[in-house]
Amino acid sequence: MGGGGEDLTFIDDEGKRLDGRKPNELRPIKMKLGGVPNADGSALVEWGDNKVMAACYGPRELHPKHKQHPMRALVQVTYNMAPFSVSDRKRPGPDRRSQEISKVLSEALTHVTFVEQFPKATIDVYVEILQASAGTRCVGLTAASLAMADAGIPMRDIVTSVAAGKVGGEIVLDLSKEEDNFGEADLPIGMVVNSGEVVLLQMDGHMTTAEFEKAMGLIEDAAKEIYGMQVDAIKAKYSEVGA
């Protein structure tokens, strides 16, 4: 939350946001499985102006051996922003932010994976941000789930992720870049839609309990919609294969 946007009118008299969306409206989303034939599974997700490619390799033996877990596989996510993904070139390589996002995404995906079926193994998931415009960890987590499903990784379910936030005193769904920069709070959530479990929860800024509950309500409804898109993307790929 950058602050400094006090002069911006985030919601106009007709209840529309800066980009014309209603408070509970998502940015346009497209998802497709495949795109990286060398990987065991992959997916491309375009979400507003975000463009994210995810690729999954494994399960495969983890090297070096001392990192192996004797009883289960590790799900290791590497989140990376391409240098050209933002307008002022992103310095290549890992930084604290990308390490943090890699960690929380790994934890969220471990939660739904039958890791105990693959002792000593690793499941490597690469999340490459080709174009960034707010909410990349949510888009990345949604794409990573699809890449893992495409790779045939045994999972209890897939993870769906979306954020809500507070701008100009209002709770809104799926913050845009401008709202993220100048808004008051951002709440990215990863969830398992069918069980209602929350597997990622972070918050930047402040909300009251009532605002938090309202934000979670928007997120739960949107997550159902996004989950439906994920299922359709999986069906689209596998009905092609079967045809």
Residues that bind ligand CDP (CB under 6 A): 86, 90, 97, 132-137, 177, 180, 188
Count of H helices and E strands in the chain? 4, 10
Cβ 1 to ligand CDP, closest distance in Å?
8
Cβ 204 to ligand CDP, closest distance in Å?
6
Q: Which CB sits closer to ligand CDP, 198 or 231?
A: 198
Q: Which CB sits closer to ligand CDP, 27 or 237?
A: 27
Q: Which CB sits closer to ligand CDP, 32 or 177?
A: 177
Tokens describing residue 74: 């590790």
Tokens describing residue 103: 């960690």
Cβ 133 to ligand CDP, closest distance in Å?
5
Cβ 177 to ligand CDP, closest distance in Å?
6
Cβ 92 to ligand CDP, closest distance in Å?
11
Q: Which CB sits closer to ligand CDP, 124 or 180?
A: 180
Share in percent of the chain as helix, strand, coil (round to 5): 30, 30, 35
Q: Which CB sits closer to ligand CDP, 122 or 133?
A: 133
Cβ 93 to ligand CDP, closest distance in Å?
11
Burial 51-79 (b: 16+ CB within 10 A, else e): bbbbbbbbbeebeeeeebeeebbbbbbbb
Q: Which CB sits closer to ligand CDP, 179 or 211?
A: 179
Contacts 24+ apart (CB under 8 A), 173-176: 173/23, 173/24, 173/25, 173/26, 173/218, 173/219, 173/222, 174/25, 174/26, 174/27, 174/48, 174/135, 174/222, 175/134, 175/135, 176/17, 176/18, 176/19, 176/21, 176/27, 176/48, 176/133, 176/134
Q: What is 47-61 written as a DSSP string?
A: ETTEEEEEEEEEEEE
